[in-house]
Amino acid sequence: MSIVIPDEVLTTTRMTESELKQEIAIMLFQKEKLTLAQASRFAGTHRIAFQHLLASRQIPIHYGVEDLEQDIKNLQKLDRL
């Protein structure tokens, strides 16, 4: 699906296309509609850079028990390699 945003919107907001995508990604992440990985991909940035952006705006990263458990499993797999 493609969304067409008129140039007028970019002009009015004084934003570039990438800045607007970044703002949309942040909003969707805050509303828990996108995961961190999905939001960073949508914004066109590396996940760590997106995390820094969130931190600079004091937006907490949603990191629950399931995320922790998955990270532990991934680390255990790496340890076996």
* 35 Cβ contact list (under 8 Å, min separation 6): 29
Number of domains the chain contains: 1
Half-sphere exposure of 30 (CA within 13 A, CB side): 12
Q: Is there a domain that residue 43 lies in?
A: yes
pLDDT band at 26 (very low <50, low <70, confident <90, very high): very high
Mean pLDDT of 15-21: 93
Answer whether residue 13 shows pLDDT above 90: yes
Residue 64 lies in a domain: yes
Q: How far is CA 65 from the centre of its chain?
A: 19
Structural domain boundaries, residue 65 = 7-80
pLDDT higher than 90, residue 61:
no
DSSP state for residue 33 in the 8-state scheme: S
Q: Is residue 1 included in any domain, yes or no?
A: no
